[in-house]
Structure 1
Amino acid sequence: MKKNKKNLKALLASVLAAAMMLTACGGNTTEESKTPSSTPDSSVAASQDPVDSKYPSYLNLDGYKPIVKEGEKVTLRISIVKHPAVTNSYEDSWFAHFVEEKLNIDLEIEEIENAQQSEKKSLVLGSNDLPDIMLTYGFTPNEIVKYGIEEELLLPLSDYMSEELTPNMIAHFERSPEAKAGFTASDGKIYGLPQITASNDGYGTTIPELYRVFIDTRWMEAAGYDEVPDQLDEFVEMLRAFKDVKDEMGVDEVYPILSPYHYERVMFKAAFGWMGSSSGDDTAPVWDVQENKVVVPATQEKYQEYVKLMKMLYDEDLIYEDYFNQDVTQINALIAEGKAPVIGVDAPYSAFPDRFSDFVAVPPLKSEYNPEGLVTASKDYAVNSYFNVSADTEHPELCMRFLDYLCSGEGLTYFSFSAPAGSEDTLDMIDGWTLDEKQNLVYGDEAKDFSSGYGFRLHKLNMGWQYLTNDYIMQEYACEMVGEKFKGAVLDYENNGDHNYRYALMTACEGRLISSLPPAYMERESAIRYGDLKTAINTFVNSEFSKFVVGQRDISELPKFQEELKKYNTAAYIAICEEAYADYEGPEKIN
């Protein structure tokens, strides 16, 4: 295994993803044992000279049950970060037994407690004894650059992808060109498998990114509103109106808008035309729909108007009184007590499992800065990587074949849900799932001791808790397994809280969604400079922003603040951002 190489000469790159700086340098594994055993598929694999070599004799390329031929014995060490709620061992899971009995792969499972993920992950990767496969590690793009490109600890999966060895994996990437592009590192290689959420109703690009604000319709009715305003100024007027109906709503105090994590700031910043801006970062590059270019919000003149808006909301008690020091537990308690007409939460059913249907989503707000009320759509894949292989493995082809099985229709379904009832693949350990009248996968009495089917899956069936795709995609495969014609994915928004919030967001944002800002690459010198500048700029902006909002600094000093900001070399910072996106032609309209 090669690691910690210092004299690399390849181009160094950095990915800006979710405003995070990534640095990268190239390096290739050249040992004969690590050479791909067939020419990679040109649409996915990195370009390289083909090398003729045979696959291991034990490997079955004609199917997956088994993957390791009968009579052969091969062991894979798999390290898994556990779900925080899971206390049992993954060695006892149905899927682990299935892998050993049906795929004929012996397993040595090593578990990392969720609370120790960061520390233990660093220890594992800093050792000279890496497992073969790492599941649910959640490598960020930054870590892929560090552990994949620079230290060569992660296997470039793209070097081994071929129609013969990994046909399902290739098809998995073809499901989402966006995911393929996002998972291709700066050296042109792919180091992990993406979780792909196809854009069927309520998933992927049918709903907004980071935008999670909902209104209790009971409060709307009490205040005399039949529909949610989609103009910024009218929305603020509605917040004011909520303060006048607290007695009618039976509460002693009202907080017109509450969010444990300030999701409302995403909503308000979108109204100013800044697409994809997170709640607490006003200095990351975003797309401005008014200017039609990449900008840094805090450096724009209209940022002064945004700060004035937030101060007005604070002064009129429309946002929480201790806004910058709010306690998450206390905010959630106030929401649960029904004292917040507008809530910024991941989904209403998390706070109101019995009346989530009372809530509707706030549409993207229109203003002079965003007259169409546009908002950024979610990506159709998760940025972090949860399925990775060690570059030190002695069995790279076996690891790839195993991951390829997980990308198959059966593998996707089994890894997430287990086998259907009546199948010999249940191993007589479980009853398996059946399909109800809506073609949902359901479990029988064996799941009755758990709060939900998901809880049963986590504790008894799964070998991990991050899946390669969403339930709807697997639902189609499940129908095929039991011989039913798939009726199509349908959101049961009236009865299912998860479906409800997705439907609410989808309908509120219909016709308003645009594609998100893609990752950008920059040379190492620029990347380091970017990181240093951003840290200083962001620290200053956050400090002064809070002072303006709570009145510790007079609002009349906003122009002076932006002059002070220039001392942090914002001109150089903006130039780096603009250069990184020089070839970007702007977002596409999604719907």
Structure 2
Amino acid sequence: MNTPVTGTPEGRRRRFRRTWPITSVLAASALLLVSCGGDAEGEGDAAAEIDMEASGAGAMEDFAAGDTFVATEPVEFSLLYRDHPNYPIQDDWEFLNKLEEEHGVTLETSNAPLSDWAERRALVIGAGDAPDFIPITYPGDETQFIAGGALLPVSDYLDLMPNLTQKIEDWELEEDFASLYQEDGKFYVLPGLLEDPQHQYSFAVRGDIWDELGLEDPESFEEFADQLRQVQEAYPDMVPYSDRWSENGPLEATLNVVAPNFGTSAGWGYGDGMHYDAEADEFVYAGAMEEYRDLLAYFAGLVEEGLMDSESLTQDDDQAIQKFASGGSAVIGANDQELLTYRTSIEEVGDEDMEVRMIRVPGGPAGDMVDASRLESGMALSADVAEEEDFVALLQFLDWLYYSDEGMEFSKWGVEGETYTKDEDGSRTLAANIDMNGLNPEGEEQLNVDYGYHNGVFMLAHGSSTELVQSMLRDEVIEFRDSMDSKERLTPDPARPLDELERERASINQTQLTDQVRTATAQFILGQRDIEEWDAFVAELESSGMAEFVDLHNEAYQRAQETLDGDVVED
């Protein structure tokens, strides 16, 4: 099986969304973008003509949302599989066997290790050797491959994916999907969906120390700094805060969750560096914003005062965890899964008095904000699948597995009566011999390791629906996420699709600018470069083509918005 916020008034946008069915809305968005720059031949239609005699092998007739997909004849689909070291792929996984036995689908995997995932994906797509579908593809990952024609314009085939289109409409994701469209009026990635934003990252603190000092969750980052000072005073031999997740860039997880509260973008959320300024109704370069400067100045101040470990930007994750578990620090970046890792590490050290909990992300100068994207890692499809005789069956299968309630539950929990049971109120309980996320610590087997379920390759966005996402969460995690729901949500950025030539021009500047910002971010935080040199740094970005880069994106944004405002719905 294995081989080695737009300029459009909100009322107008909502009326547009309510009045048209989802396929019409997405079709209109596509056609509008085409009229902005491009395709005079009519490409960009939301539905492509399908010859069922040529492409319908194995497909179900009248496949509808809620139907269980069962191929009418055995089919085999290939995928590029991200092999995670925590649950390496096994040929005899029950997940794979159930797909073959009960749904008529055999999956042929080409495996790429997690450590080499992005490079391997780029290599096979760029060489034209992509398998049928490529999971673990985030929106934005696909743009570099569009010009070469290697990827399927999936927006042309949404009418064959009824579960996906129903979720878009029911969960009001039209505005989120609008950001996926490219300049040719199509989009090339099927994202993972979230019914509601699911906040996972924040800071883990030593709860016993916080309780000892009478500290509550800080409401602001200034209060957070004050709390670190109190920890420093009470425990002078401890560095209050030592962080992690700096392998590919400085403090990527932490800066990602903190940045919205400072009014900018950073860390994992930096993307191509473009940040939408809703008040000015234009895009600006995040790395040159005064708000970005203030963000760096805050962390630089923590380092300068000795409140934050300067090794946070150079140590690997294991070193940061060891410091925290051994009592060398009292705060570390965290998500709800890593919280369990920290507790396990503390147990290994043997200090039973240590307690760990997550705090709500504080507010900042820009307010109490959170990035509330509801599009997650998804998948891209090879352009070649459109020529396959089982093309329609492939789309039906992917629609069922990744977007139907039944398929999402199957991927996350397995099979009712075998890997779990369900009570009358809908609550699920793992079988006595199976554990996952510490829900059943006495279980000798793991749902992902031993069965292949609860696998990020086949389970986008942890299950997508709020009920399913929360079905395996501990009470403390639900409480944390509920606390984050009171933060003000950022709206999705408006679309700014570049054409092929613009993408080529942008790529020339983007890599250089991103590298400069990443380097300077570390230098400013560590005090290797004085924050007073900020203007000189911005001048360096200007000399690397920042203004041209920003203008390019704003021109694309204006093209799309002018057409949308003028042609879709008039008040």
1:194 and 2:191 matched: yes
Correspondence for 2:311 among 292, 317, 322 = 322
| Aligned match of 2:343 | 352
Q: TM-score, normalised by structure 1?
A: 0.70
Counterpart CA distance in 2 for 1:114 and 1:319 is 33
Contact 1:434 1:441 in 2 (8 A): yes
1:361 and 2:381 matched: no
Matched ranges for 1:7-22 at <5 A: none
1:527 and 2:503 matched: yes
* Deviation of 1:361 (Å): 2.0
Contact 2:83 2:89 in 1 (8 A): no
| Aligned match of 1:254 | 239
Contact 2:208 2:354 in 1 (8 A): no
1:536 and 2:526 matched: no
In structure 2, the CA distance between the partners of 1:180 and 1:569, relative to structure 1 (3 Å rule), is closer
Correspondence for 1:408 among 399, 404, 415 = 404
* Deviation of 1:243 (Å): 0.4
In structure 2, the CA distance between the partners of 1:396 and 1:549, relative to structure 1 (3 Å rule), is closer
| Aligned match of 1:510 | 486
* Deviation of 1:320 (Å): 0.9
Matched ranges for 1:372-521 at <5 A: 373-385=367-379, 390-406=385-401, 407-421=403-417, 431-436=418-423, 439-447=426-434, 455-462=446-453, 465-468=457-460, 470-471=462-463, 473=465, 496-497=473-474, 499-508=475-484, 510-521=486-497
Correspondence for 2:202 among 206, 212, 223 = 212
CA displacement, residues 135-178 of structure 1 (integer Å, 9 cap, x when unaligned): 53x2344553444x43333333343443xx54323323334324
In structure 2, the CA distance between the partners of 1:364 and 1:505, relative to structure 1 (3 Å rule), is farther
Contact 2:155 2:187 in 1 (8 A): yes
Matched ranges for 1:95-106 at <5 A: 95-105=95-105
CA displacement, residues 370-391 of structure 1 (integer Å, 9 cap, x when unaligned): 2xx2323331121442676734
CA displacement, residues 202-228 of structure 1 (integer Å, 9 cap, x when unaligned): xx1x648xx523443433333343x33
Contact 2:242 2:329 in 1 (8 A): yes
1:83 and 2:80 matched: no
Counterpart CA distance in 2 for 1:559 and 1:450 is 47
| Aligned match of 2:543 | 567
* Deviation of 1:314 (Å): 1.7
Contact 2:242 2:311 in 1 (8 A): no
Amino acid at match of 1:435: K
| Aligned match of 2:154 | 157
Give the number of the structure whose residues are more often helix, by fraction: 2
Contact 1:194 1:382 in 2 (8 A): yes
Counterpart CA distance in 1 for 2:314 and 2:459 is 35
Counterpart CA distance in 2 for 1:282 and 1:403 is 27
In structure 2, the CA distance between the partners of 1:410 and 1:219, relative to structure 1 (3 Å rule), is same
Contact 2:419 2:434 in 1 (8 A): no
Q: TM-score, normalised by structure 2?
A: 0.72
Contact 2:242 2:320 in 1 (8 A): no
In structure 2, the CA distance between the partners of 1:386 and 1:334, relative to structure 1 (3 Å rule), is farther
Contact 1:179 1:194 in 2 (8 A): no
- Structure 1 residues not aligned, in runs of 5+: 1-39, 422-430, 477-488, 586-591
Counterpart CA distance in 2 for 1:576 and 1:305 is 26
User: Which has the higher Rg, Structure 1 or Structure 2?
Assistant: 1
In structure 2, the CA distance between the partners of 1:349 and 1:545, relative to structure 1 (3 Å rule), is same
* Deviation of 1:339 (Å): 3.5
Counterpart CA distance in 2 for 1:566 and 1:128 is 37
CA displacement, residues 517-562 of structure 1 (integer Å, 9 cap, x when unaligned): 3452234444334333343334444444544444444555444444
Counterpart CA distance in 1 for 2:104 and 2:431 is 28
Counterpart CA distance in 2 for 1:322 and 1:467 is 35
Amino acid at match of 2:374: D
Amino acid at match of 1:512: E
* Deviation of 1:73 (Å): 5.2
Contact 1:191 1:388 in 2 (8 A): no
RMSD: 4.1
- Structure 2 residues not aligned, in runs of 5+: 1-21, 28-43, 348-352, 563-571
CA displacement, residues 6-57 of structure 1 (integer Å, 9 cap, x when unaligned): xxxxxxxxxxxxxxxxxxxxxxxxxxxxxxxxxx954556527875844547
Counterpart CA distance in 1 for 2:526 and 2:271 is 17
Contact 1:154 1:391 in 2 (8 A): no
State the SS of the aligned residue for 1:405: helix
In structure 2, the CA distance between the partners of 1:42 and 1:219, relative to structure 1 (3 Å rule), is same
CA displacement, residues 328-371 of structure 1 (integer Å, 9 cap, x when unaligned): 3211111222433332222333312689985242443233xx2x
Amino acid at match of 2:458: Q
Q: How many residues align?
A: 495
Q: Quick one: percent identity of the two aligned structures?
A: 20
Contact 1:80 1:109 in 2 (8 A): no
Contact 1:135 1:386 in 2 (8 A): yes
Counterpart CA distance in 2 for 1:156 and 1:527 is 17
| Aligned match of 1:47 | 45
Amino acid at match of 2:371: A
Contact 2:47 2:156 in 1 (8 A): no
